């Protein structure tokens, strides 16, 4: 069982996961694997569920999300699936938390 869940076809399923896992973490990832960066948020971060997006904009068009209860599986997903993209930590919800040196 992988410890992460990929959301690439349903904002509804993603929002349910966020609401059920408020202590979790998510990666915001461009669907295009030539993306330059991947950003990590806490599940509760407003930027992980930006409601300015029209429905479908979170996981159904240009972006997908990967959720996990711990950070490590997301680092593994990043290394496996987007090895050339930089992993940035959200400056709002993860400021000062586990900052890489």
Residue numbers of the site for Zn ion (CB under 5 A)? Answer: 41, 45, 47, 90, 92-93
Which residues pair with residue 86 across a beta bridge?
A: 37
C-alpha–C-alpha distance, residues 85 and 56, integer Å: 23
Nearest distance in Å: CB 1, Zn ion? 26
CB of 9 to Zn ion, least distance (A): 23
Residue 68: which H helix or E strand, with range? strand 63-68
CB of 21 to Zn ion, least distance (A): 15
Residue with tokens 């509760």: 44
Tell me the C-alpha distance between 47 and 38, whole Å. 13
Nearest approach in angstroms of CB 48 to Zn ion is 6
Tokens of 11: 């904002």
Residue 85 or 94: which CB sits closer to Zn ion?
Answer: 94
Nearest residue (CB) to Zn ion, 41 versus 65: 41
Residue located via tokens 């399923």: 13
Residue closer to Zn ion, measured from CB, 47 or 81? 47
Assigned token pair, 20: 């059920």
Nearer to Zn ion, 28 or 85 (CB): 28
């Amino acid at each position: 069982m992988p410890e992460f869940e990929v959301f690439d076809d349903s904002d509804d399923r993603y929002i349910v996961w966020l609401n059920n896992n408020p202590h979790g973490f998510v990666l915001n990832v461009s669907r295009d694997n030539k993306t330059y960066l991947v950003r990590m948020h806490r599940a509760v971060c407003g930027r992980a569920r930006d409601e300015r997006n029209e429905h479908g904009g979170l996981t159904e068009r240009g972006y997908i999300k990967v959720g996990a209860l711990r950070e490590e599986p997301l680092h593994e997903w990043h290394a496996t699936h987007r090895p050339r993209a930089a992993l940035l930590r959200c400056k709002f919800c993860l400021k000062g938390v586990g900052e890489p040196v």
